[in-house]
Structures are given as structure tokens and as C-alpha cells.
Structure 1
Amino acid sequence: MTLKNNTLPLKDIRILDLTSAVVGPYATQILADYGAEVIKLEQQTGDIIRWISGHSPTPGMSGKFMHMNRNKRSISLNLKTEQGKATFMKLAARSHIVVHNMRADALARLGISFAALSEANPDLIYCNIVGFGAKGRYADRPAYDSILQGGTALASLFARNGNEPRYVPYVVVDRTAALMVTNAILVAIYAQTREPGPREIEVPMFESYATLVLSEHLYGESFVPPVSPSGDRRLLDENARPVKTRDGYICITTNTDAQVLALFDAFDRPDLKEDARFNRAINRIDHIAEFFALRASEIARHETQYWQERLAQFDIPCMPCHTLSSLLDDPHIADVGLVEKREHPTQGTIRHLNVPVSMTGYTPTLRYHAPHIGEHTREILAEIGLGDDHIEAMLQAGDAFESD
């Protein structure tokens, strides 16, 4: 199938997004970037990530919020009032997908469970993003990225080479789970083309990330009985990190035998090609600490620029170890137009992050800037058939809210 130019691949998909923070908003933004109509439903105080992720030119528009909520419209409803709840049910009835990351007791209090919504919408896809699976003893516990980094053993991996356990300074569990949410929703959309009917999805963040950590590091304990200890030593060694040069750091990886032999040529150390500890992958596994130590001592002899040029000559994978600031100045980032300056209606000039994925016949574009709380409340209420007087009455009664 060939898409017509400028056709939105998901243009007929309507999503009612009740999520906040990172995992849900990032997932729904991906779908929005490919044309889904995403209505972000917020309480009067708005998504928490508006407020805990730094300052902004106007309140509640943090950079992190803006980078995960473009191409959405925002409506603010009070689901605790009769009129607010009734309006929500109208929105849910016309949506293809409802996605939330609320805890079960909150859903029950509000009466917006899968059973309640699928009765009104018999083809609804209802996605629960939860910290822990409903069948386990941790079900309905609160979960944040740091909690799950620790709980999935990710934080402990730093301690395998003598350091303290620590968090990756990036909400890696949330971001990764968001991709799993997107995948699950797309699968459900496709499944409905073959067999219509309501579908409930559960994406448990703890189990989802635990499978990734275990698949990476279960290693010899994948077998019963174990053939070796857990943990990939290529990743856990103390020198499995950016390598110090005379004036900075460089990132380098050599996995194949051909790459390692080329590295020895780059070092002007052809004698190492005959070293049985290093010249075959199966042997390097048992001597990885020695290999990394050797690499570190050789790299330390020259400056970063020298190694970038030298390693490139031998087609050895390498990059400078960027800071956040220098990453913005990377020439490749400029070549592909990943970061683009745009004018936001209220925030002035912003750095807009374009979608890096390309697709025949479609280029994701910015249709809506990240919204203020309830920025589109009136517009969306009108679309579901409410008149101006009705909308005004809801706003006055506190059933709905709009941005100032």
C-alpha cells in the first residue's frame, strides 16, 4: 500500500488521553505525530509534569511537558460532578481508544472502568498503564521511574563493578514502557480490523522493564542449571564506559573480530592480532577486563580529535562523548534537521524536536503546539454538540475549565 503524500496514517483514530507525567503522554504523542486525534483530558491543576520539570516563560509549560504533548488538544473536566462525568462519557463514546495511568481505586471511584466505558462504546480499546500487573501482589501500588529502576535491578548493575547502586539520570523505564504502550495500541487497532469488539490492554511497567533487564543480563542463568553467573561482563566491567583521551573522552565499541583486529591496527599494535585472549570473540568474553584495560591505556595516549579521525579511517564505531550542550551543536543533528527553532504562541522561540523516523508518503509535522490546561475545552465541547450557553454554564459551575 502506498500512502498519498501528506496523508495522516492514523487520521481516523480518536484517542481520549487521561494520562499524566511521562509514560502515557509520550506514548500518545507518538500516535499523535502520525495523525491520531488526541484529546488530552486534564484536571483543573493539569498534568503534574507541567510543574515539576523546570521553569517556563508562562506557568505550567515546562520544556519536558512541551516535548511530550505536541499535536494534542487539551480539555479540562471535573469528573467528580454529574455534568463533568456525563460529558466525559460522551467523549469516551466517540473515541476509539481511552488510555490512562490511574490506579484501580481511582478508576472505581470515578466509574470509568473498562466495563463501564465498553458498555457505552462496544468497539473501545481501553489501555491501562499500571505500575504492576493486576494479578500480582504489588497490584495498585504507586510506581515511579526511580522505584522501578531499583525494583527491576537496573540500579544495582552499577554496583557490580564496585560502585554504589544508582539511578540512570533519565526516566528510562517510563520512556521504554511508553513504546510498549504504543506497540500494544497499534496491535489492538489492527486486531479490530479482523475481529471487532472491545479490547482491554494492560501494560505493567515493572514486568515490562524486568523482562528487558533479564533478557540482557540473565546470561548464563538462562539455563538450568546455570552455565555461568548472571550479568553481561562486556557491559558491567568498570571500563565499559566512555574512554578517557588526553583531553576528554571518546565512545568506542568493537564487537566483531574484524573490528577488534582493525582496532589493533589503529593502535599500531599488529602484534595483538596474534594474542589468543583477544582475537576471537569467544575468548574475549573471558578476558574482557584485560581487553578494556588495554584499550583504555592506548586511547589515553592521544587527543579526542586524533582518535575520531584515526578510528574513522579503520571504520571503527566511535563518537565523541557529548554533553547536552555539545549534542545540540553536533553537525549531523543539523544535517537531518532534528532540532528546529519554532515560535510557540505563548512561549516564544522554542527548540522543537522533530520526529526522526521517515516513512514513504508521510512526514510527521507539527499540527498543534503543546497546549495550556483546557486550551481547547470550548472547542471540543462544541464538537460533541454542546451549545454556547451549555458550555458557559459548565464553566461557571466548575464542571469544566479553560486556560486563562
Structure 2
Amino acid sequence: MAGPLDGVRVVDLTSNFMGPYASLLLADMGADVTKVESRQGDTTRGVGPCRNPGMSAIFLHLNRNKRSIVLDLKSAGGNAALKRMLRGADVLLHSIRPKSMTKLGLGYDDARAINPRLIYCGTFGFGQNGPHADRPAYDDLIQAAVGMPVLQSRRAGPPEYVATAVADRVVGMAATSAVSMALFQRERTGRGQEVQVPMFETFAHFVLGDHLYGRTFVPAIGGTGYARMMNPDRRPYRTLDGYVGVNVYTDRHWQRFFEVSGHPHLADDPRFADIHGRTEHIGQLYEFLAEVFTTRTTDEWLELLTEADIPIIRMNTPDTLLDDPHLAEVGFFVDQQHPSEGHLRMLGIPQRWSESRPELRLPAPRLGEHTEQLLAEYGFARAEIDELLASGAAVAAGPVRGG
């Protein structure tokens, strides 16, 4: 057994970031993920640096532990082949708008008729009972729709997107959780079901847990935006020779910090006596911290505050993170020799399991690399596979370059 989802068969009709991140997490936990692609392949095959066309850095990180099959779902043969595969699948994961799935004969009612035990999970832009149901969605659009760029700018400048696909990945994690819980329910009842994971609502739930704030109450007690997080001075602190991230948070943290930083009189200031007062006066505290941290080096602050049990960490850049001693010790980065892409630095699986330990089993696949193998595993005879390939309903990858 390689992971807790070993033996779970997932047919993956997702592309871009959100859906593939969801299926990546399932694959890393041991699920047998069949990545169904068009002739053009997943859009992320072309995003970022690459050694060979269609095998970009972004694609490699989103699609390890999966196998690729190319099917033309608009052709009779390719469409029929996928439906036949659903008979033996546990999960169908898709990021296609539901109306388009229905046009392909792959709506939930169609899939349930083929396999009543199937977990059918759709990850798409908007809930299907609202006016935006048919609209397309991408990470930037959903960040904007939820107000994240305003929060990111701390209302102090022009709106800015978070510099990572945060909505895609958050919703992808939610889809993984939904699929896992639906599989658990099926173990109890024997029945599959449809689960819809819309981006807009899921990301709004993620963001507003912090930022609904004063408008939680009716009538409102103040406005939206968690005050501490919205303050423009909430940022890493410059030291004499670098930056540190610090969370002086509890009453005890602040009392110790005032003492060790040489300002013990502030411990008796009523503005800073408890978390409510500190939240009300957070701007003044952030200004104070910004001034104080410039008086010592990063190493001096790390030693001083660690000894005082105040949370502090050295600020990394993406480049220095590669040499972070903690990540090195826990084996976070993994060297991989990819059959076609050569030596790669991959991200390990961050969780630790005492049993059913997940593994990096498969490198990210070339487009259509496993078409013939997967069709055979799903019960297609050699003559049927040859017919699908000859008609163009299925496409198989050529040999590895130089192999």
C-alpha cells in the first residue's frame, strides 16, 4: 500500500491549476489518477520553463503520480471509451462547466446511470443555482470577485492580486476534502453522489472567515476587515542586516518583548494590556516594532526572542528557501530522475503517516504516455485499442526522445 487512497481509481477531467491540484493531492495519497487530456493537452504544459515542449515546470509539479491518456471526447469513439472507463472508476473529477458536461453526455445523471457508486465531483466557477452559473472563472477573477486585491493592498494603495494561485489551490484542497468525505460516506452506504465545489463561494468562505469582522453583527459593529491583518504595517521587520517574521501575540509575549527590548514601562500601558486594546492600537504597536527591530541584527533577534519564547523566524526568499536547514533535514525537496526531463527538484509529500505511507510513485506524464496501458487496464481488448488509435479517438505518445 502506497498511501491511504491506494486502490481508489480517479478519472480526472480537469486542467489548468485548480482541478489538477485537487487530483495531485489525491494522487499523492495513493489514488490511481487517470489524467484525461485533449490532443492539445493541459494548458499548463506550456506554462514556465521547460526542457521539452509540453513538460513545463508548472505542469511537472501539478501532475506527478498521475498517468495521461488522450481521448477526443467529442468523437463517438472517445466519448464511448470514457463512459466505459467510468464503470470501473471510483471518482470522476472535472473542472468543466456543467452544461458542457451535459452536452457531452457526461452529466451527473448520465454518470450515475453508468455507475451508481461513482463519486462525481465538479470544480467550476460558480454555484449552479445563481446568476453567474455559466460564467468562466480563473484564479485572478475569483480573487477580484471576493475582494482579495483590496485586502492585499491593505486599502492603502491600488488593488493587488496575491502572488500565487491562492484561489485555485484553496478550492483544489476543498475539492480533495469533499471527494475524500464522499468516499467515506460511500463506504457506509454503498452509494455514490454528486459533489459541487464552486470557486466563488468556496473562496469567499475562506476569506470572509477573517474579514467579515464587524459586519458579522446585525446591525454592524464596525466595518469589514480584520484590523490587525489589514494594517499596512503588518509585514516582516527590517533588522540591521535582513528581515525577520515575528508574532508578538499573547499577553505574555508582549510583556516579555517589552522587557527584553528595553521598554519595560510599556507593559503597564493600558492600551497594550490585553488583545482587545492591542487590536485597537495595532498601528502604534507596528510602528514601535518597526523601529525597535532595526537596532539589532537578525541573528541577535533570533537568539534573544527564541530564548524569551516569542515566535520569530528568519525571512526567506524563494531562492534561500531551497537551502533552508529545516526543509533539508525533513527531506522536503526530492531529487527525481525523470525519464524524459532529466534531473529535477521536486516537492516531497509534507505529511507524515505511521501507516499507509504515501510515496512519489510516478513522474509527471508526457501527453498520452499511458493511453494504451490505461485502456487495457480498464478492460479494452488490443483490437479495440488499435481501432481507437486508428480513428483518432485516442492518441498515444511516441517513444521518449533519444530512447
TM-score scaled to structure 2, two decimals?
Answer: 0.96
In structure 2, the residue matched to 1:19 is 14
2:189 to 187, 190, 195: 195
In structure 1, the residue matched to 2:93 is 99
CA distance in 1, matches of 2:226, 2:108: 41
In structure 1, the residue matched to 2:70 is 76
In structure 1, the residue matched to 2:258 is 264
CA distance in 2, matches of 1:158, 1:121: 45
2:27 to 16, 32, 35: 32
- Whether 1:327 and 2:321 are equivalent positions in the alignment is yes
In structure 2, the residue matched to 1:368 is 362
- The 8 Å contact of residues 242 and 252 in structure 1, kept in 2 or not, is answered as yes
CA distance in 2, matches of 1:21, 1:70: 14
In structure 1, the residue matched to 2:217 is 223
Give 1:343-382 correspondences, 5 Å limit: 343-382=337-376
Q: CA deviation at 1:238?
A: 1.2
Q: CA deviation at 1:197?
A: 2.3
In structure 1, the residue matched to 2:401 is none
CA distance in 1, matches of 2:213, 2:290: 26
CA distance in 1, matches of 2:274, 2:67: 55
Q: What's the % identity of the aligned pairs?
A: 38
- The 8 Å contact of residues 42 and 75 in structure 1, kept in 2 or not, is answered as yes
In structure 1, the residue matched to 2:137 is 143
Greater mean deviation of Cα atoms: 188-197 or 350-359:
188-197
Give 1:178-189 correspondences, 5 Å limit: 178-189=172-183
Q: Alpha carbon RMSD of aligned pairs, Å?
A: 1.3
Q: CA deviation at 1:71?
A: 1.0
Q: CA deviation at 1:160?
A: 3.6
- Give CA deviations for 1:221-274 in whole Å, capped at 9, x if unaligned: 111111222211110111101112222221111111111112112312212111
Q: CA deviation at 1:72?
A: 0.9
- Give CA deviations for 1:157-208 in whole Å, capped at 9, x if unaligned: 1344411110000000010001110111111111112222230110011001
CA distance in 1, matches of 2:18, 2:34: 16
In structure 1, the residue matched to 2:198 is 204
- The 8 Å contact of residues 6 and 32 in structure 2, kept in 1 or not, is answered as yes
SS of the residue corresponding to residue 10 of structure 2 reads strand
SS of the residue corresponding to residue 167 of structure 2 reads helix
- Whether 1:303 and 2:297 are equivalent positions in the alignment is yes
Q: Name the CA shift for 1:389/1:26 in 2 (closer, same or farther; >3 Å).
A: same
SS of the residue corresponding to residue 123 of structure 2 reads strand
In structure 2, the residue matched to 1:3 is none
What is the number of equivalent residue pairs in this alignment? 398
TM-score scaled to structure 1, two decimals?
Answer: 0.96
- The 8 Å contact of residues 7 and 361 in structure 1, kept in 2 or not, is answered as no
CA distance in 2, matches of 1:279, 1:49: 51
CA distance in 1, matches of 2:86, 2:206: 33
Give 1:384-395 correspondences, 5 Å limit: 384-395=378-389
CA distance in 1, matches of 2:229, 2:176: 28
2:249 to 229, 243, 255: 255
In structure 2, the residue matched to 1:289 is 283
Unaligned runs of 5+ in 2: 399-403
In structure 2, the residue matched to 1:278 is 272
The residue type paired with residue 150 of structure 2 is: S
In structure 2, the residue matched to 1:153 is 147
- Give CA deviations for 1:59-85 in whole Å, capped at 9, x if unaligned: 111112111111111111111111111
Q: Name the CA shift for 1:264/1:161 in 2 (closer, same or farther; >3 Å).
A: farther
- The 8 Å contact of residues 3 and 359 in structure 2, kept in 1 or not, is answered as no
Q: Name the CA shift for 1:354/1:7 in 2 (closer, same or farther; >3 Å).
A: closer
Q: CA deviation at 1:7?
A: 5.3
CA distance in 2, matches of 1:237, 1:205: 27
CA distance in 1, matches of 2:322, 2:162: 21
Q: Name the CA shift for 1:161/1:303 in 2 (closer, same or farther; >3 Å).
A: farther
CA distance in 2, matches of 1:341, 1:403: 25
Q: CA deviation at 1:387?
A: 3.0
In structure 2, the residue matched to 1:340 is 334
- The 8 Å contact of residues 158 and 164 in structure 1, kept in 2 or not, is answered as no
- The 8 Å contact of residues 17 and 39 in structure 1, kept in 2 or not, is answered as yes
SS of the residue corresponding to residue 282 of structure 1 reads helix
CA distance in 2, matches of 1:294, 1:161: 21
Greater mean deviation of Cα atoms: 373-382 or 277-286:
277-286
Unaligned runs of 5+ in 1: 1-5
Greater mean deviation of Cα atoms: 59-68 or 202-211:
59-68
In structure 2, the residue matched to 1:87 is 81
1:312 to 306, 310, 313: 306
